[in-house]
Structure 1
Amino acid sequence: MGVVRHGSPEGWVRSADSVRPVTAVLEGFTTITLLVCLGLLLAHLGIIDLPGQRALSLLAFYVASPALLITVLEDSDIGSLFTGALVASAAAVVVNVVVYVLLARFVFKRDLAHTVVGSLCAAYVNAGNLGIPIAAYVLGDAALVAPVLLMQLLVLQPLALTVMDVAVAEERLSVWRIVSRPLRTPLTVGSVIGLVLAGTDLTLPRPIHDPLELVAGMAVPSMLIAYGVFLRLGPRPGLGDAPELGLIVGLKLVVQPVVAWAVGAYLLGLEGTPLLAVTVLSALPTAQNVFVHATRYDRGIVLARDVVFATTVLSVPAVTIAAALVA
């Protein structure tokens, strides 16, 4: 059975023609579930406590994730970003964020930091852990996830973290500090380095690249294990604001794929595999990165945890329905 390396420490995936689509979806979710369960077990046995969970999240935020971004982006095709799929995906993100922000500020009365976390919960899809294998197995081409993945890494994430930095700052920040903030955020720095490597003929020497790739391999496992630990030791799921949770889950699994499909089909004229890809990828669950960001800034942690849990469970039928209807 052949394998294809997708330029990422997230692992090797079997070629698209060797696995049935349903099996591919289940494999992606099973991998995530097993690592989360490992975190649950470690917490239950007392091996990792809440301070340890926070240490894992900070390790992912400051060290492993920037390394992961470098190794993922260094082999990416920048030209693949600028497609109709990018426009449709971005439109769906904008709609979700605008709807949530308006309701969060004027109905739920949330502060700015919480609103940023909620916005990411409503719009930031799991394009890495699930997007890559689903694009490869279900859609037949892993490159189809590139527009969504790069948009999130290069635009949505840096913008959200900049606003979050401003929101939690203890003193008023100058314009220069606000503008330069993304360049001092580890995730943005990692993205920029990876983008420079992708757009030039530069390559990292093996003595640097190999250790970097090893560190990058910690990113996804540490996120998922930390999430499992908090799921066991934090407040029980469902104890947060149920209306807000229901709103975000509805936006993420219903509104986002419907908007992406409508914009792609009726405004951009997408059809066939490109339209199927933008719809299915928009129906993916909220990424664990959002929980890591919430932990880093100590804002909206319970909300992020509950949204990741609910959307991951419910996205199995959501992705299946979206694929069946569009196909």
Structure 2
Amino acid sequence: MSLVSAFVPIWILTAVGYTACRRGLLGAAAASVLGRFVFHLAMPAALFLALSRTPLAGFAGRSLLAFAASTVAVVGLGWAGASRLFGRGPGERPIWGMAAGYVNSANLGIPIATQILGDVSFLAEVVLLQVLVVTPVILVPLDRHRDPAARARVRRIASLPVRNPVILASLLGVACSAAGLRPPAAVGASLTLLSGAAVPAALVALGASLHRPAPSRAAPAEWAELALITALKLVAQPVLAYAAGLALHLSAPQLLAVVVCAGLPTAQNTFIYSQEYGVGEAVANRAVAVTTTLSLATLAAAAALLG
């Protein structure tokens, strides 16, 4: 299967989800319910199996370094741009940076990695990097903005790995890999079945989420913000990842994995965090919607060029 043709099932299932939601076949809460199923059950099963079967020596250190370099650069550019170009306050800058550089490694990342890369091993490493390193960098200033003391919030951030099923499953997978443990046959078979639902359910949920009421009109300045965020996310981040990968002498398959993961759209957690902290909700919502829609084309283009 060619790299471009690998996107065909992604487009088809996304269109199925959109059409089903538009025709009212799945109910008004379809995207939310399917998204929770993927996030809390199917995706953790897939990540646990992938990481538990990956020897720690097999972790792609140079590939992850290239991805991390692109993430740091783009999050920093978004953070600075929010302040210097658009005069956004301290509470909104982390959301801006997250919208520009925090990739959707879950709902869209798993089907993309499965179809294009053949496995989710590198994506699982990206998940660990984002949730264990990037997320605290985003949440700490948001907490400080809301509550200068931030005492209770520090404990909440510290407990994130055990409250988030994706992080917990990833950490358990790494622990099992390190200890050489494998789940019992019946448990492994059940996890395999559950993980098999992650890709189709995630894509149907993605399509359903794209069918939404028309958003309120944005001011010209907000459209300028959205355009810059979209350019940083879908163009600058994969280009920087590609440059870093070349500098680190990655192989062609490694370079493809790094660029594809860096080219994933803005994570839905960006909007969730903006809602939780009451800052930047409009720009976060639009960034998720626009980058998700456009990424289906930009990712296919990137895969075709690298292929």
Quickly name the TM-score band, shorter chain normalised: 0.7 to 0.9
- Paired letter, 1:35: L
Superposition deviation, residue 118 in structure 1: 5.8
Partner of 1:187: 166
What is the root-mean-square deviation of aligned Cα atoms in Å? 3.5
Superposed CA deviations along residues 190-216 of structure 1, whole A, max 9, x for unmatched, are 111111122222111122222222222
- Paired letter, 1:258: V
Distance 1:67 1:274 in 2: 25
After TM superposition, list the pairs within 5 Å mapping 1:141-290 onto structure 2: 146-147=121-122, 149-162=123-136, 163-164=138-139, 167=142, 172=150, 173-235=152-214, 241-266=222-247, 268=248, 270=249, 273=252, 276-277=255-256, 280-281=259-260, 284-286=263-265, 290=267
- Secondary structure of residue in 2 paired with 1:26: coil
Partner of 1:25: 4
Structure 2 unaligned blocks of 5 or more? 276-280
Superposition deviation, residue 292 in structure 1: 6.5
1:54 aligns with 2:32: yes
Partner of 1:311: 295
Task: Rate the CA distance shift 1:52–1:86 in 2: closer, same or farther, 3 A.
Answer: closer
- Secondary structure of residue in 1 paired with 2:11: helix
Distance 1:282 1:265 in 2: 16
Task: Rate the CA distance shift 1:151–1:283 in 2: closer, same or farther, 3 A.
Answer: closer
Distance 1:291 1:168 in 2: 19
Q: Pick from 122, 134, 159: which aligns with 2:116?
A: 134
Partner of 2:73: 95
How many percent identity over aligned positions?
Answer: 23
Which is further off, 175-184 or 91-100?
175-184
- Paired letter, 2:239: V
1:301 aligns with 2:301: no
Superposed CA deviations along residues 139-197 of structure 1, whole A, max 9, x for unmatched, are xxx6xx744x2432112134455545984898742433322222221111111111112
Which is further off, 178-187 or 295-304?
295-304
- Paired letter, 1:242: W
- Paired letter, 2:287: L
Distance 1:273 1:118 in 2: 29
1:119 aligns with 2:93: no
Task: Rate the CA distance shift 1:226–1:175 in 2: closer, same or farther, 3 A.
Answer: same
- Paired letter, 1:104: A
Partner of 2:55: 77
- Paired letter, 2:29: P
Which is further off, 293-302 or 173-182?
293-302
Contact 1:93–1:123 (Cα < 8 Å) also in 2: yes
Task: Rate the CA distance shift 1:234–1:60 in 2: closer, same or farther, 3 A.
Answer: farther
- Paired letter, 1:151: E
Superposed CA deviations along residues 5-30 of structure 1, whole A, max 9, x for unmatched, are xxxxxxxxxxxxxx4xxx33222x21
Contact 1:93–1:256 (Cα < 8 Å) also in 2: yes
Task: Rate the CA distance shift 1:166–1:213 in 2: closer, same or farther, 3 A.
Answer: farther
Task: Rate the CA distance shift 1:205–1:237 in 2: closer, same or farther, 3 A.
Answer: farther
Contact 2:111–2:202 (Cα < 8 Å) also in 1: no
Q: Pick from 268, 272, 280: which aligns with 1:291?
A: 268
Superposed CA deviations along residues 226-265 of structure 1, whole A, max 9, x for unmatched, are 2212212333699694323322332233322332333333
- Paired letter, 2:230: V
Q: Pick from 9, 12, 16: which aligns with 1:38?
A: 16
Contact 2:22–2:211 (Cα < 8 Å) also in 1: yes
Distance 1:211 1:237 in 2: 44
Contact 2:43–2:195 (Cα < 8 Å) also in 1: yes
Question: TM-score of the superposition, structure 2-length normalised?
Answer: 0.77
Which is further off, 114-123 or 162-171?
162-171
Superposition deviation, residue 308 in structure 1: 1.0
Superposition deviation, residue 127 in structure 1: 4.8
- Paired letter, 2:191: L
Number of equivalent positions? 289
Partner of 2:278: none
- Secondary structure of residue in 2 paired with 1:311: helix
